[in-house]
Amino acid sequence: MSFKLFNQSDIPEKYRSNFTHLYFDIAWFGVLSGTAVSFLNVYATRLGASGFQIGLLAAMSAVVNLFLAIPAGRWIEKRHTGKAIFWASVVFRAGYALWIPLPWFFGAQGQIWALIVLAFLMAIPLTPIGVGFNALFAEAVPERYRAQVAGTRNITFAIAYMLTSFTAGYILKITPFPIGYQIIFAIGTLGAAMSSYHIYHVNPLEDALRYAPPPFDETQGKSDPEIPVASAHGIKSILRLDIWQTPFRGTLLVLLAMHFSHYLPSPIYQIYNVHVLHLNDSNIGNGTALYYLAVLIGSTQFRSIAHRYGNKKVTGWGVMGMSLYVFMLAAASSVWHFYILSFLGGFLFSMVNGAYANYLLENIPPNDRPSHLAWYSIILNIAILSSSLIGPVVADAVGLVYALIIFGVVRIFAGFAILKWG
């Protein structure tokens, strides 16, 4: 299967290097995600973090992104996309190495607040990555191959994530606290470094599409109506508010709803798993691995499903389907329930994760990606910031179980919005 998965005999030679490095990039990112990123909230919960503090871990990044997304987009527009993303990733991912020695210098609460401060600082170089990586992907992968490459990346990520989650759970089971977490943070740091190495070797192939829009045509009294032009000086030109006068506005609003519904329960997942389901680190690692095993299986089917139904429908129905995960979690009472819902949730996530980025790119003019993606980054971080703060408040007000039910209903409405108005 692996040889067939990465077989590029039908891919033109000029694209193969980019595709290969994109696959290795996501594989090493899977190592990072299956270790350090996946267990960060678990670690914070073990240290005694509240729902508000866990929410802040995500909110700090969102706050920085809101202020820097537009400048980051303009910064990327003036540079080679691949190299800009590479150097931003190096600075950002160096922060993971700083997680490792925290137990040597701080007590439990000190470590929690140190992680929050690091999340804030790491968000500064993360902003151009969030704005620019989709642009780099679009420039490095021709449109007719995007579904194939996205699907293969999802499969690759799932394999790496699944294997490292199992490994991380085992390490935490046999290693005393907090040494086990320091080990998996170190493994995650290695994955981060190798992912950045492969990003360095991804080169845009469509530089001609990144030229600035044509200037105002004084002889005709207008410019191309299909190309958004920011010719006026001042704040509107800097912020590219003209984008909100295009059909892309609808895409931004429904993706705002999608991301808000997706991140709303995130701050309370590990609190629920640890304090209600009483799962240990090995259980959580196994459940995460099953989740990404289902992502792997779903990703093998994504290409045919996306071609049959289109990225918009797959995204919308997938978001509605993801409500099942939180509904089932609210009803779970044992580790086996957790394993079953993890598998189901992973399959549904594979559809949404594979489709929504392609749906986004389908609605962006190819000559003006950075500015459009900067606005997408803003609405993404509005969703992360608001959901990270609102989620714990709702949980405190109504209890963890009822909060999960409410969050599931919100996901249904978000999926419907994509299908109706996206």
- Distance between CA 295 and CA 299 in Å, rounded? 6
pLDDT at 1: 43
Is residue 284 in a domain? yes
Beta carbons within 8 Å of 221's beta carbon, 6+ residues apart:
none
The model's pTM is 0.69
Number of domains in the chain: 1
Is residue 230 in a domain? no
pLDDT at 250: 87
Q: What is the CATH number of the domain that holds 118?
A: 1.20.1250.20
Local confidence pLDDT in tens for the 422 residues of the chain: 444 555 565 676 777 788 888 999 999 999 998 899 888 988 998 898 888 888 888 788 778 877 777 777 777 777 777 788 888 889 989 999 999 999 999 999 999 999 999 999 998 888 888 777 877 887 888 878 877 787 788 778 878 888 898 888 889 889 999 999 999 999 999 999 999 999 888 887 754 344 333 332 333 333 333 333 333 344 455 567 778 888 888 899 999 999 999 999 988 888 898 888 888 888 888 888 888 788 778 877 877 888 888 889 999 999 999 999 999 999 998 899 999 999 998 888 888 887 888 888 888 887 777 778 778 888 888 888 888 889 989 998 999 999 999 999 999 999 999 998 87
Per the structure, the complete domain to which residue 366 belongs is given by 14-203+243-421
Check if the beta carbon of residue 169 is closer than 8 Å to that of residue 281.
yes
Buried b (16+ CB within 10 A) or exposed e, 111-136: bbeebbebbbbbbbbbbbbbbbbbbb
Distances in Å between the Cα of 415 and the Cα atoms of 145, 266, 314, 322, 358 are 26, 18, 10, 9, 16
- Distance between CA 155 and CA 353 in Å, rounded? 11
- Distance between CA 280 and CA 266 in Å, rounded? 18
- Distance between CA 387 and CA 384 in Å, rounded? 5
Is residue 229 in a domain? no
Token output for 210: 């990144």
Is residue 234 in a domain? no
pLDDT at 253: 93
- Quick check: helix, strand or coil at residue 399? coil
Is residue 216 in a domain? no
Is residue 364 in a domain? yes
- Distance between CA 69 and CA 225 in Å, rounded? 26
- Distance between CA 376 and CA 256 in Å, rounded? 8
Which pLDDT tens digit goes with each residue over 368-420?
777 787 788 888 888 888 888 899 899 989 999 999 999 999 999 999 999 98
